[in-house]
Structure 1
Amino acid sequence: MRQLVLLFVTLAISQLTVAQSRPVDAIIRELHDPASKQVLVVAHRGDWRGNPENSVRAIESVIQMGVDVVEIDLKKTKDGVLILMHDRTIDRTTSGSGKPEDYTWAELQQLTLKNAHGCPTRQRITTFEECMNTVKNRIMVNIDKGYDYYQDAYAILVKTGTVDHAIIKSTRPYETVKAENGNLLGGKLAFMPVVDLNKPAANAVIQSYETNLKPLAYELIFQTDSALVHSNYQTIPKTSSKIWFNSLWASLDAGHDDERSVEEHHPEDGWGWLIDHNATMIQTDRPAELLAYLRKRKLHR
């Protein structure tokens, strides 16, 4: 009897330790802490420079780096399986050709992924469910090209126990998102509006979201510095939402991009400029370099 009791106690302690050791919990806390000055790093399609984009290896690589969020893209097969794929066709990233929705999942499993140089690898296309099982308890996921599969994605998140790991986004205004997926707004699955500050309706879109939803974050796009000056994006931090900027290429951030920060060796006018303008999340194609920069500035754990 005593041995049985000790066994139950050991199992209980073990389960408690596992529950308390999820690295993703620290990321989630940062994301929900409006007072935090830490800057979260988002890896665009995983570590695609060293591995096929949107692959398990690309995801594993950025987890090992210490990245906070990995950005992925979704498509659906002919038989309804959600897979990780950015393009409308599989030509650029796989050994096949055509649209993913023209293939069954079994057929796609016969193909292999290409690396960043277009060379073949032995890596296979990843399902969304496999992706979420890979990241579970370890890192958050941003579902970029996936709004069309909002309900299906949510079902996978529930199945894998990772609803709190994910952020989904869209360029649609609040009223449209509410009409199409209102049952999932307001806590079930974090939603992030994507707002182009150069568009005339940008201020109205932000105001509508601030009034009706108060999203976890806003992804803001701007082609000129003046777009920030003339927008009401400054109101966002007051509502406790995070500000996400993209440093991927110049048209998304008025030239304060990865190239400026890394290749041109001016990180203060690249990533630093974004941080000075309220960035609390930065999506990058240079996650290792951005992490090193932030840690040097004591802006990342």
Structure 2
Amino acid sequence: MTYKDFIASPARTCAVVAHRGAWHGAPENSLAAIENAIALGCEIVELDVRRSADGELFLMHDETLQRMAGIGREAESLTMAELRALTLRQDDGGESRAMTDQRIPTLRQALEVIRGRIFADLDLKDRGLFPEVAACARAMDAHASVDLKTKVHSRADAAWVRAQKIDGVPFMGMAHFTAEGLGEELDILGELSPFMCEIRFDRIETIARNREAFEKARMALWINTLDQPGSGEWTDSAALADPDAIWGRLIDAGISVIQTDQPEALKSYIKARGA
């Protein structure tokens, strides 16, 4: 089944996205974190993509290597050979985390692992890499299993996406929906027909009251419940304390894909409620 077919399936339950892989017990953005996500039964893994000094696509979130490798260098200033010589810190890194035997993977290595086993959201730290990443996914025969995304707030944004050479790779929009601006935002997104949209919103009621409009657009809704400022009240910490009030309300409003740093807890919650 392709990524787009899976997302469009009316029979599926809410999909769980492991943010930077299931990194509890493995370095984030590592092959081990991807394997953990697969073992947990997560449907999607989110991975951060950068390009090395010698042009190799690799996985790393931060601009510098300090948090994950203890090196005060910009990640993209090193060649891939230099990056591969480094080992990664456990979990989400930092000085308190021990070094592991895991190394910085290339995008090609990651695609080899995910292909046919899990879908992947590729978060490009430079959206100018769209064509290059799409070409890599096609070369690895993984193009139907990944997505590329960027913010779409204007017709100029939509035009930029249309100009990219991402043929065969599903596109996911990123939008902020408000009660007043939802119609215009959907019109702009409609120019691209994204199979899914990563959203923020003013109030949960804005999403719940417009389920028919999202269904008409054939666009699934994805939200992040990460412990980050952009999540507002909808955080993993709040969900662990009261999952019905956070994950449950989001699912009930029509959101069917949730990105989390607590994938095991969210998988258990979805299984328990049968949604």
Could you say which residue in structure 2 is the equivalent of 1:244?
222
Does structure 2 retain, via aligned residues, the 8 Å contact 1:113–1:121? Answer: yes
1:86 CA displacement: 0.6
Does structure 1 retain, via aligned residues, the 8 Å contact 2:20–2:46? Answer: yes
Do residues 155 (structure 1) and 130 (structure 2) align?
A: no
1:95 CA displacement: 3.3
Does structure 1 retain, via aligned residues, the 8 Å contact 2:121–2:147? Answer: yes
Q: Output the CA distance in 2 between the equivalents of 1:180 and 1:194.
A: 12
Cα distance 1:82–1:204, how it changes in 2: closer, same or farther (>3 A)? Answer: same
Which one has the bigger strand percentage?
2
Does structure 2 retain, via aligned residues, the 8 Å contact 1:40–1:69? Answer: yes
Q: Output the CA distance in 1 between the equivalents of 2:274 and 2:207.
A: 26
TM-score scaled by length of structure 1: 0.81
Could you say which residue in structure 1 is the equivalent of 2:193?
214
User: Which residue of 113, 119, 125 corresponds with 1:140?
Assistant: 119
* Residues 162-211 of structure 1: per-residue CA shift (max 9 Å, x gap): 000001111144533433553546x621111111236986653332112x
Secondary structure of the 2:73 match is coil
Cα distance 1:100–1:253, how it changes in 2: closer, same or farther (>3 A)? Answer: closer
User: Which residue of 293, 297, 301 corresponds with 2:269?
Assistant: 293
Cα distance 1:188–1:205, how it changes in 2: closer, same or farther (>3 A)? Answer: same
User: Which residue of 174, 183, 193 corresponds with 2:173?
Assistant: 193
Cα distance 1:223–1:90, how it changes in 2: closer, same or farther (>3 A)? Answer: farther
Does structure 1 retain, via aligned residues, the 8 Å contact 2:21–2:34? Answer: yes
Cα distance 1:220–1:180, how it changes in 2: closer, same or farther (>3 A)? Answer: closer
Q: Output the CA distance in 2 between the equivalents of 1:101 and 1:251.
A: 26
User: Which residue of 53, 71, 85 corresponds with 2:60?
Assistant: 85
Task: Count residues with an aligned counterpart.
Answer: 269
Do residues 99 (structure 1) and 74 (structure 2) align?
A: yes
Q: Output the CA distance in 2 between the equivalents of 1:117 and 1:179.
A: 35
Q: CA RMSD in A?
A: 2.4
Q: Output the CA distance in 2 between the equivalents of 1:203 and 1:251.
A: 26
1:82 CA displacement: 0.5
Task: Name the amino acid aligned to 1:128.
Answer: L
* Residues 47-67 of structure 1: per-residue CA shift (max 9 Å, x gap): 122211000000000101110
Secondary structure of the 2:72 match is coil
Q: Output the CA distance in 2 between the equivalents of 1:289 and 1:59.
A: 17
Task: Name the amino acid aligned to 2:257.
Answer: M
Could you say which residue in structure 2 is the equivalent of 1:259?
237
Secondary structure of the 1:155 match is helix
Cα distance 1:223–1:253, how it changes in 2: closer, same or farther (>3 A)? Answer: farther
Q: Output the CA distance in 2 between the equivalents of 1:28 and 1:64.
A: 22
Larger Rg over CA atoms: 1
Does structure 2 retain, via aligned residues, the 8 Å contact 1:154–1:189? Answer: yes
Secondary structure of the 1:41 match is strand
Does structure 2 retain, via aligned residues, the 8 Å contact 1:55–1:124? Answer: yes
Could you say which residue in structure 1 is the equivalent of 2:148?
168
User: Which residue of 178, 185, 193 corresponds with 2:159?
Assistant: 178
Q: Output the CA distance in 2 between the equivalents of 1:26 and 1:102.
A: 35
Task: Name the amino acid aligned to 2:139.
Answer: K
Q: Output the CA distance in 2 between the equivalents of 1:251 and 1:108.
A: 30
Does structure 1 retain, via aligned residues, the 8 Å contact 2:121–2:148? Answer: yes
Does structure 2 retain, via aligned residues, the 8 Å contact 1:256–1:273? Answer: no
1:234 CA displacement: 5.7
* Structure 1 stretches of at least 4 aligned residues deviating more than 4 Å after TM superposition: 198-203, 223-229, 231-234
Secondary structure of the 1:93 match is helix
* Residues 23-71 of structure 1: per-residue CA shift (max 9 Å, x gap): xx276533122x3452111110001222110000000001011100000
User: Which residue of 269, 272, 280 corresponds with 2:245?
Assistant: 269
Q: Output the CA distance in 2 between the equivalents of 1:155 and 1:138.
A: 20
Do residues 121 (structure 1) and 100 (structure 2) align?
A: yes
